[in-house]
Structure 1
Amino acid sequence: MHEALPAPDRVRTPGSAPGGVPFFGHAIALLSRPLDFLPSLPAHGDVVRIRLGPRRAWVVCDPGLVHRMLVDTRTFDKGGPLYDRLRELMGDGLVTCGHADHRRRRELVRPAFTPARVAGCTALMGEEALSVCRDWRPGERVDVTAAALSLTTGVIARLLFSGSLDAARAATLRSCLAVVVRGLLVRTVVPVDALFRLPTPGNRRYLRAVRRLRALVDELVAERRRGTPRDDLLGTLLAAEDGADGRALTGREVRDQLITLLLAGVESTAMCLASVFALLADHPEVERRLHEEVDAVLADRTAPEPGHLARLDYTRRVVTETLRLRPPGWLFTRLTTRDTELGGYRLPRGATVLYSPYLLHHQATSFPDPERFRPERWAPGRTAGRAAGGDALLPFAAGSRKCVADTFAMAEATVAVAVVARHWRLRSPSGPIGRPRPAVTLGPRSLVLVPEPRTRVPVGARPSPAL
């Protein structure tokens, strides 16, 4: 019989967060000032009880306890308000499926994210990064968030669909995702279904975006079925639909996987990239060191090649520190499958349990001076983020449900930052940028910066041959 955690000598009662209001509980605080509310909770215990509308929920504030929860996926399964809402959009894709179905779905997509496949995607990552910044003009304002979304849409479209997502459909995808991610947060924090059945303009926009996104994916799948097989993720999923291995996917499961990979692959990495450039604009010394490394490693090339990734050490540290300070995935939920205990705290079966990478990443016990942007935390030999029971840095989760594409996402972000930094310095036209306001992901929703050229190498020049 599976045991979730060893029984402690003493069972404690979770602390309670102060400041709840009638009916809404702590949902208003979580919606209106989440980046202040969440870091205030550890003062009330390692596990803190809050109310979200009529529901109770428990926030795990200790990094060691979060690790124990993430490793025990049978007791702490994917569930709670966030995943209830995501399932309405993604069905039972890789991110939202329960423990029993996860391994099979993960095995289907894992071959696309092996180290060798990631290295083989370096060129297309560089090409997409060049495509979004080659037409910038010195002194003109650029919506960097939109550029980042274009970049990540191009990369994931080529990975999933071999480039069959044309410009018009890519624009539709970006617009649908923008509406969906805004709508998901309020549906998660205020889990009162009746509110979202009202025919308000916001609810209509959300439902329309969900329908368009599903229709777009169905259209791409139908085209592939009529066309020539290709060696991409869609081809892998359609082969699994044929059931050659005796475990056939249904057409609905194919669509669920594709929507999951689109939402996760486009939105999160784009928010990370937008946050990187916002932080660089506010920290010129970090930007200077980044430019020095990129110039030294790339020399006269316009984009990194596979052999460059290991040498872009400081660039990778900048990305890692951004993921600490501004994690795109900032709040997640789990659902207990039985009565259990976590660190001596009693949790009932069916409890909604929350953990926040943002909260964990901003604890001074794990990260001294946590509000400072300090890429040197991640220099070789440093022990940033080490906490009792595990690493406090959790931008990609942990355990068997850790993001299957974490290596891919890190490579994509490193390549994109290096390409833009090779050619441009980005400045804020209106002074310090400050931290963003989160939706279902965390990152600047409309970051406007001004590019200044910093190289004589033409932005549209072709990359050099591979090393």
Structure 2
Amino acid sequence: MVHAVASPIPVARGALPLVGHALAMLRGPVGFLSSLAGQGDLVRIALGPVKAIMVCDPDLVHRMFVDDRTFDKGGPFTDRAREIVGNNLAFCPHADHRRQRRLLQPAFHPARLPAYGRIMSEQIAERVDAWHDGEVIDVPAQMTMLTTNVLTATLFSDQLTPARLRQSQQDADTLATDILPRMLMPDALARLPLPPNRRFRRASERMRATIESIVAARRAEGERRAEARGRGVADGVGGSTGEGVDGAGVDGAGGDRGDLLSALLAAYDGESTGADRTLSDVEVVNQVMTFHLAGSETTATTLAWALHLIATHPDVERRLRAELDTVLGGRTATYDDLPRLGLTGRVVTETLRLYSPAWLLTRKVTADTTLGPHPLPAGTVLACSPYLIHHRADLFEDPERFDPDRWDESLRTPPPRGAFLPFASGARKCIGDRFSLVEATLALASVVARWRFTHLPGERDVQPAVAAVVRPRRLRMRVNRPDIGPAHQ
């Protein structure tokens, strides 16, 4: 029983009948979310039929993330996401999380990052070399093509056919665009055979079928290898033990190709028993679905915003080009270059602060508790927004200013704990955070080293649009060979 006594949690200003705060959120997400911080540590919001309490205080957000048993994964985003990706690491309840985390952690071990980095650099070079001097490009679309190619190659090593890759990109875009409207509609409406619902289901089913076929093929290859090895042993010919991560037999899963799928198929958890020691094919597909959707969309959005910000801040662009001329000399960035790409990394970090792709994270209270002075009954849906935290003036000086140097610890004191949340925090922090930062830094460095991006006349004022991530609403830019530094190689 909760006995705390506190003033009622206020309702956010500007609610409209039926739609609540949904219009304010869609019209100006940054302004709406930032305004909540001045209305209380906890504030009630309504997005159509969805009711939640927004946690605005960074210390309370930190507690919510750390106590993931009391504040478990749940809420409208989680429920809708499970419709697509199932019960996987990102959206599973606390009871399943520890096992899944142990199984997936080796796939993102630092020792595997150099191999991923080599694949990233190859794919980045191919995409960047496809543009022409003076061409006008749709920046978000081009960055999505780049990151989808990178993710497909790092997931599967052998790429999908061009046709299947294009379809995969289209399906991912459909799911990212339509998930917010589905979150805001009642369950009964979401189940009706309406055109948007059919489009959403087709995209989800098609993407899942593609991944299932790849997993099945890799399993079959592993079985053939194991059978051949067994014949060799029977004939007195020595064979590889096939030991993989934590003793898992990667040969039995098609061999370790250095990609994410190899690591998932080889995953082994010694703390579990029976079938729980490995990932089933359904679980592998669920994990890959999330990596595919979240990995490509979030990194593409970050790169698009970064290119926009660089183009509107000439001093940052000048310094960035000087760094890239010195380190890269016009070539594609590699994993080994990362220690010398300090400003590039800070530009990525500052972009994540200003335009965090993850704009709303939800949790569900599992038992009566308190957060701050407020009692919260079991079943309460909580939300927090990296946007809100990242734009608080008490945490970041001049928070609306693009300032990569705020992350230079030789010049500034780093922000307080809990102030930077693009990947959440605590036990449920994004397992692919380092992977994403490596990809974004390599891509941004390579793109800016080869090209200069300029806005079209009258199109410098780019506004955010809310979908699964916060995208630039319209961002077309002209690409030209840079007029400084070494010639393109």
Question: After superposition, what is the alpha-carbon deviation per residue over 1:144-166, rounded to whole angstroms, capped at 9, x for unaligned?
Answer: 22221122122222222112323
- Asked if the contact 1:73–1:99 (Cα under 8 Å) also holds between the matched residues in 2, the reply is yes
How far residue 251 of structure 1 moved from its aligned partner, in angstroms, is 2.6
Quick one: which amino acid aligns to residue 289 of structure 1? R
Q: 1:174 aligns with which of 152, 169, 175?
A: 169
SS at match of 1:121: helix
Q: 1:241 to 1:115 in 2, by over 3 A?
A: closer
- Summarize the Cα distance change of 1:77–1:161 in structure 2 as closer, same or farther, 3 Å threshold: same
Corresponding position of 1:129? 124
In structure 1, distance between residues paired with 2:6 and 2:368: 13
Query: Residue 32 of structure 2 aligns with which residue?
Result: 37
Q: Kindly tell me: are residues 310 and 363 of structure 1, through their superposed partners in 2, closer, same or farther at Cα, counting changes over 3 Å?
A: same
Could you say if the C-alpha distance between residues 445 and 150 of structure 1 is closer, same or farther in structure 2, counting changes exceeding 3 Å?
Answer: farther
Residue 196 of structure 2 is aligned to residue 202 of structure 1: yes
Aligned partner of 1:342 in structure 2 is 371
Instruction: Give the conservation status (yes or no) of the 8 Å contact 1:336–1:349.
Output: yes
Question: How far apart in 1 are the matches of 2:327 and 2:320?
Answer: 11
2:438 maps to a residue whose letter is A
Q: From the superposition, tell whether residues 357 and 456 of structure 1 become closer, same or farther in structure 2 (CA, over 3 Å).
A: closer
Q: CA RMSD in A?
A: 2.4
Q: Which amino acid aligns with 1:236?
A: A
Answer yes or no: is the 8 Å Cα contact 2:140–2:472 preserved in 1.
yes
Q: What SS class does the counterpart of residue 163 from structure 1 fall into?
A: coil
Q: Partner letter of residue 260 of structure 1?
A: T
**Are positions 1:331 and 2:360 aligned together?**
yes
- Within 2, Cα distance between the matches of 1:15 and 1:166? 53
Aligned counterparts of 2:414 and 2:56: Cα–Cα separation in 1:
14
Q: Describe the SS at the equivalent of 2:277.
A: coil
Q: Which residue of 2 aligns with 1:253?
A: 283
Deviation of 1:458 (Å): 7.2
Partners of 2:87 and 2:193 in 1: CA distance: 27
Unaligned segments of structure 2, at least 5 residues: 223-253
How much has 1:186 moved relative to structure 2? 1.7
Q: Secondary structure at the match of 2:470?
A: coil
Q: CA deviation at 1:191?
A: 4.4
Instruction: Show the counterpart of 2:229.
Output: none
**Structure 1: any 5+ residue segments left out of the alignment?**
462-467
Partner of 2:233: none
In terms of mean alpha carbon deviation, does 345-354 or 123-132 score higher?
A: 123-132
Structure 1 segments of 4 or more deviating over 4 A?
Answer: 7-10, 240-246, 382-385, 455-459
1:356-367 alignment to 2 at 5 Å? 356-367=385-396
Report percent identity of matched pairs.
Answer: 45
2:337 aligned residue = 308
CA contact (8 A) 2:120 2:154 kept: no
Task: Determine which of 312, 322, 327 is the counterpart of 1:297.
Answer: 327
Hey, what's the Cα distance between the residues in 1 that align with 2:87 and 2:463? 33
1:46 aligns with 2:41: yes
How many angstroms apart in 1 are the aligned matches of 2:154 and 2:306?
23
Shift of 1:424: 0.7
Q: Does residue 450 of the first structure (1) align with residue 478 of the second (2)? A: yes
TM-score (structure 1 length as normaliser) = 0.90
| Distance in 1 of aligned mates of 2:81 and 2:487 | 43
**Maintained 8 Å contact 1:69/1:76:** yes
Deviation at 1:382, TM superposition (A): 4.9
Count matched residues.
451
Per-residue CA deviations over 1:255-305 (Å, capped at 9, x if unaligned) read 111101111211111111111111112222211111111111123x61223
Please identify, of 323-332 and 139-148, the stretch whose mean Cα deviation from structure 2 is larger. Answer: 139-148
Deviation by residue 1:9-50 (Cα, 9 ceiling, x = unmatched): 863432221222223322333333322221111222010012
